[in-house]
Amino acid sequence: MYRNTWMEVNLDAVADNVRKLKEICGKKIIAVLKADAYGCGDSHVARAVLEAGADMLAVSSLDEALMLRNEGYEGELLILGATDPEDVPVMIENSISVPAYCPEWADAVVQKNPAGLKVHMKVDTGMNRIGFKTPEDLQKAFNELKEAGCLIEGIFTHFCCADFDEVFTNMQYDRFADAVELLGHEFKWIHCDNSDATVWFKDPLSNACRIGISIYGINTYTDELRHPISMHTTVTMVKEIMPGEKIGYSSTYTAKKKEIIATLPVGYADGFIRANKGRKVWCDGMECEVVGNVCMDQTMIRLEHAVPLNTPVEIFGPHIHLEDMAADLNTIPYEIICLISGRVTRTYIWHGREEQEENARLLKSTAIEV
Ligand SMILES: *Cc1c(COP(=O)(O)O)cnc(C)c1O
């Protein structure tokens, strides 16, 4: 890493969180590592969650599943999103479990010699994303997939409001329980809880919980989790500006008095979006306002006192909480961390030691041949 803008992921804290959540729910843990583990690096987060006792990993697509297989993961692996029936041979060959989620999918899959394909029946209980909407469709697909030799290992649904709506969540659960009963099958995996539900929702039927954002310490119902992720940069230039001077593209900020301005090597191409203008970052004990428009690669902040070059700046972490940043930006923590781009070096703490991710594109390649 040459450019000093990085995201730190403390894998020891990740592992502690998984252990804690497993203790809280008393069920098997399916660690959801979709979207490169919410931007944190799926192969790294995988090591930590597996060491902490996760029983299965889940991702969003066949591409993401194959990436984990290519990294050497041989354990239980479930795709949560849609798949193309054309790819059935790849799913079987790599022992990847997939959701059956609509009649068209099931009808197409049975045409593809799916014997041995590991399937989880996905039931839509109110979110209206993917999943069987009617008991008839569910039963029919179950029968034909079973007949075609699929291994029907699981059944699941997804709560859409487990962070605030107990009534709706219970209604979704009741529909799910009806679906499980309808099929009368011995499922190895029965799962409905996301991170929030893992903490508060208790039921006698499910035997696994799918945890995503709580791996990173974010949960509406417990504050017993650690906060493993933070994002940092360092000061590249400090200057004094006079009253009336402007800052950045479109000169949107005007100094009211003599002010000290620092420049940071972080911008919207790092996922530090333009909406951060006017928000605060943390530097040398100060909360510093982002002044002027955030540029693609750089950002200016106003300091109360001058600092030396290379002084560290926290974008989110112990002082600027990710959840507060999300609230300021009118979004959710998931979106902020998923948008941190590949240009931002990931550093990891693992078994108490720091490791730095080598950016693959800093390694020599001959992709451009002229
Ligand atoms: C993303 C996702 C999860 C994890 O949700 P969190 O709120 O991050 O715990 C679980 N199940 C499904 C189907 C998902 O898409």
pLDDT at 362 > cutoff 80: no
| pLDDT reported for residue 223 | 95
Is 0.95 topped by the overall pTM?
Answer: yes
Q: Over 90: is that where the pLDDT of 93 sits?
A: yes
The per-residue pLDDT for range 296-321, each reduced to its tens digit, is 999 999 999 999 999 999 999 999 99
Q: Quick one: which of 86, 63, 77 has its CA closest to 32?
A: 77
Where residue 154 falls among pLDDT bands split at 50, 70, 90? very high
Q: What is the pLDDT of residues 162-184, one digit of tens each?
A: 999 999 999 999 999 999 999 99
Cα angle, residue 334 at apex, residues 83 and 361 outer, rounded to 5°: 75
**What topology is assigned to 11-216 in CATH?**
TIM Barrel (3.20.20)
- How confident is the model at residue 368, as a pLDDT? 86
Please report the atom of ligand 1 found closest to the CA of residue 156: 13
CA distance linking residue 348 with residue 254, whole number of Å = 39
Which positions are annotated as active-site residues? 34, 249
Q: Which atom of ligand 1 is nearest the CA belonging to 213?
A: 8
341 vs 361, more confident:
341
- Which residue's CA lies nearest to atom 4 of ligand 1? 212
CA of 253 to the centre of ligand 1 (A): 40
Q: In what order do the strands lie in the sheet with 151-156?
A: 77-79, 56-59, 28-32, 208-211, 189-193, 151-156, 118-122, 98-100
Given a cut of 90, whether residue 2 has pLDDT beyond it is no
Give residue 188's pLDDT band: very low, low, confident or very high (50, 70, 90): very high
The mean pLDDT of 189-196, rounded to a whole number, is: 98
Nearest atom within ligand 1 for CA of residue 334: 8
Residue of 36, 61, 98, 158 to mutate, ligand 1, most atoms within 8 A of C-beta: 158
Q: How far is the CA of 158 from the centre of ligand 1 (A)?
A: 8
Quick check: helix, strand or coil at residue 358?
coil
Say whether 181 sits in a helix, a strand or coil.
Answer: helix
- 132, pLDDT greater than 90: yes
Task: Name the residue of 60, 80, 120, 206 whose CB sits within 8 Å of the most ligand 1 atoms, as the mutation to test its pocket.
Answer: 80
What pLDDT was estimated at residue 86?
A: 98
Please state the domain extents for the chain: 11-216, 229-360
Collapsed DSSP state (helix, strand, coil) of residue 369? coil
pLDDT at 1 (0 to 100)? 72
Contact (CB, 8 A) for 227 and 94: no
> Using a 6 Å CB cutoff, which residues line ligand 1?
32, 34, 80, 158, 194-195, 210-214
Question: Which residue puts its alpha carbon closest to atom 1 of ligand 1?
Answer: 212
Say if residue 235's pLDDT is above 90.
Answer: yes
**pLDDT of the residue at 196:** 98
Query: Which residue owns the Cα nearest ligand 1 atom 6?
Result: 212
What pLDDT score was predicted for residue 106? 98
The mean pLDDT value of the chain amounts to 97
Gap between the Cα atoms of 241 and 243, Å rounded: 7
- 78: helix, strand or coil: strand
Confidence of residue 357 (pLDDT cuts 50, 70, 90): confident
Q: What's the CA-to-centroid distance between 299 and ligand 1, angstroms?
A: 33
Q: What number does the ligand 1 atom closest to the CA of 210 have? A: 10
- Report percent pLDDT > 70 for the chain: 100
Dist. CA 196 → ligand 1 center (Å) = 10
Mean pLDDT (whole number) for 215-242: 98
Confidence of residue 365 (pLDDT cuts 50, 70, 90): confident
Tell how far the Cα of 44 is from the centroid of ligand 1, in angstroms: 19
Residue showing tokens 């009649």: 103
What CA–CA distance (Å, rounded) separates 100 from 123? 9
Q: Give the residue whose CA is nearest to atom 14 of ligand 1.
A: 80
Ligand 1 centre to CA of 75 (Å) is 19
Between 38 and 368, the more confident residue is 38
Which ligand 1 atom lies nearest to the CA of residue 60?
15
- The pLDDT assigned to 350 comes to 97
Minimal-distance CA residue to ligand 1 atom 8: 212
Q: What is the pLDDT of residue 227?
A: 98
Distance from the alpha carbon of residue 353 to the mean position of ligand 1, in angstroms: 30
**Does position 356 have pLDDT exceeding 90, yes or no?**
no
What fold does the segment set 229-360 form as a domain?
Answer: Lyase, Ornithine Decarboxylase; Chain A, domain 1 (2.40.37)
Average pLDDT over residues 69-74: 97
Position in ligand 1 atom list of the atom nearest CA 38: 8
pLDDT above 80 (res 198): yes
pLDDT band at 283 (very low <50, low <70, confident <90, very high): very high
pLDDT at 165: 98
**pLDDT over 90 percentage in the chain:** 95
Pick from 157, 194, 199 the residue to mutate for probing ligand 1's pocket: most ligand atoms within 8 Å of its CB: 194
Residue in the structure block whose two tokens are 């070096």? 345
Residue to mutate, 32, 33, 36, 60, ligand 1, most ligand atoms under 8 Å from C-beta: 32
Distance CA 203, CA 178 (A): 13
